[in-house]
Amino acid sequence: MDSPGEIARLIKRWQAGDKAAENALFEALYAKLHAIATRYLRSEAPGQTLGATALVHEVYLRFQRAERLDITGSSHFLALAARVIRRILVDKARERRSDKRA
């Protein structure tokens, strides 16, 4: 299921509104998404409350809520997911800093 052609077909079906393709896509790429999240977490300060699994699930939720994503393939999908993971971590850090000031 990891072949680029199969992933590209799942992405096209997902973008057309196929929920089964969406689930299959995330299932097929889950290990890679988890590895990306783990890499980002290694560079975070101690005390991070989010784990890699929570980050992957948050990416899934954010992708579901997105109005229109024009993704061309698995590498593009993973790059976009990495940006979302980074954004989640940055937002969380800002939230912690603002809580300290309050």
For residues 17 and 99, the model is more confident at 17
Q: Global pTM?
A: 0.85
14-36 pLDDT, tens digit each: 989 899 999 999 999 999 999 99
In the chain, alpha helices (H)? 4-15, 19-42, 52-65, 74-101
**Regarding the domain delimited by 4-101, which CATH topology (the fold level of the hierarchy) does it fall under?**
Rna Polymerase Sigma Factor; Chain: A (1.10.1740)
35-62 pLDDT, tens digit each: 999 999 998 877 778 899 999 999 999 9
Does pLDDT of 102 surpass 60? no
**Domain spans of the chain, in order of start:** 4-101
